[in-house]
Amino acid sequence: MRILVILPAFLPVEDIKKTVNQIMPGIEIRTNMDFEKDDAEVVVITTFTQFGKNEIDKFPNLKFLQVSSTGYNNVDVKYLKSRNIILSNIPRANKDAVAEHVIAMVLAFLKNLIFFDREIRNGNWPVLTNSTELNGKIFGIIGMGAIGIKLVQRLIPFGPGIIYYDVKRLPAEDEELYGLIYMELDDVIKSSDILSIHLPLTEGTLNLFDDKHFSMMKDNAIFINTSRGEIMDENALVKAIKTKNIFAGIDVYSKEPPDFSSELFKLGNVIFSPHIAGATIESQQRFLQETIGNLIKYTQGLDPLYQIKEEL
């Protein structure tokens, strides 16, 4: 069975080759798709490789596509399903990393760390502080999947009130266990001092955060997006930052790298990171381990884990 792995060139490809070949010798690893056809039955990609109809058609024998990431909006799922190709992702490997990244951004805002760092570097010594505590704040989470749950678990010791919205409400026993309050989407947005987004990119979530939803947020609230850039309207976010003094922690962008001439990058009240919330040394090791485990399952005739059933 021929297996082809396609990785972005910025990853430590040679190290990954050594690890993979120790467990499953003979797997080819490439950093591009500069070919017309390939007879691979199994292909592994990351979220950084577009895999639409043109790419899928390069593999006439393809039976199983493994996306070694949580998101898979780079894949033409509908066309893949029309060819009866199995699709799996790795939805849990980066949940700890993303949860910690969200909390880091939130604390940086609440403790005013960027301002203090800048002032001291400029030779100033602020006497007063407007730092606040996470304890007692209302923390809203939009999307209560694996990452949302992990974020809740990390937040509990800090003592905020936690409210959430998801298209699929959690069982009552889970809400009681974690002290969660379920609300409709608009009510979560209106009530939250801090709002963190953990949604997949679908037709229903595209530009979900537009002028209407940003206008519902409290003045001075914190907005964190570590999911997908296309979920928010960038112009609407810029307007909210300017008119409502919204603070924003942004890890994802509709185009990556983004357009650095955008007004967004000229504003204060914003912390940026380069789509690395889920990319820690530990999470990358878990992605690799779970990907290899799924390949072994498939080659042994077993059903791979985390199969995607729905169409985006």
28 backbone dihedrals φ, ψ, rounded to 5°: -85, 135
Is 198 designated active site?
no
The pLDDT value given to residue 128? 82
Which residue in 101, 230, 275, 290 is the catalytic one? 275
CA distances from 17 to 13, 28, 264, 292, 299 (A): 6, 8, 39, 12, 19
Joined together, the tokens standing for residue 39 give 């007879």
Please check whether the two domains, 3-91+280-299 and 95-272, share a CATH topology. Answer: yes
Which residue in 55, 228, 230, 290 is the catalytic one? 228
CA distances from 83 to 41, 65, 87, 263, 284 (A): 13, 12, 11, 43, 30
The pLDDT value given to residue 311? 57
- Element (DSSP H or E) covering residue 165: strand 161-165
Q: Report the distance separating Cα 104 and Cα 141, nearest Å.
A: 16
The pLDDT value given to residue 127? 86
Return the SS3 of 5. Answer: strand
Q: Give the angle 155-157-160 at the CA atoms, nearest 5°.
A: 55
Sign of the alpha-carbon dihedral angle for 270, 276, 282, 287: positive
The pLDDT value given to residue 76? 95
Q: Domain residues of the chain, as ranges?
A: 3-91+280-299, 95-272
Print pLDDT tens along the chain (312 aa).
999 999 998 888 999 999 998 999 989 999 999 999 999 999 999 998 999 999 999 999 999 999 999 889 899 999 999 999 999 999 999 999 999 999 999 999 999 999 999 999 999 999 888 899 999 999 999 999 999 999 999 999 999 999 999 999 999 999 999 999 999 999 999 999 999 999 999 999 999 999 999 999 999 999 999 999 999 999 999 999 999 999 999 999 999 999 999 999 999 999 999 999 999 999 999 999 999 999 999 999 999 999 998 754
Q: Please tell me the number of Cα atoms within 13 Å of 99 on its side-chain side.
A: 20
Which CATH number applies to 3-91+280-299? 3.40.50.720
For residue 60, what are the contacts with CB-CB under 8 A and spacing of at least 6? 37, 39
The pLDDT value given to residue 7? 94
Give the pTM.
0.91
Q: Report the distance separating Cα 137 and Cα 179, nearest Å.
A: 14
Q: Report the distance separating Cα 51 and Cα 43, nearest Å.
A: 11
Return the SS3 of 98. Answer: helix
The pLDDT value given to residue 301? 96
Are 259 and 236 contacting, i.e. CB atoms less than 8 angstroms apart?
no
Q: Give the angle 200-154-94 at the CA atoms, nearest 5°.
A: 40
The pLDDT value given to residue 144? 97
Is 119 designated active site?
no
One-character DSSP codes across 6-59: E--TTS-HHHHHHHHHHHSTT-EEES----S----SEEEE-TTS-B-HHHHTT-
Is 228 designated active site?
yes
Q: Are strands 86-88 and 180-182 parallel, antiparallel or unpaired?
A: unpaired
The pLDDT value given to residue 220? 97
Q: Please tell me the number of Cα atoms within 13 Å of 153 on its side-chain side.
A: 13
> What's the longest Cα–Cα distance across the chain?
68
Domain 95-272 CATH superfamily: NAD(P)-binding Rossmann-like Domain (3.40.50.720)
Which residue in 256, 263, 282, 311 is the catalytic one? 256
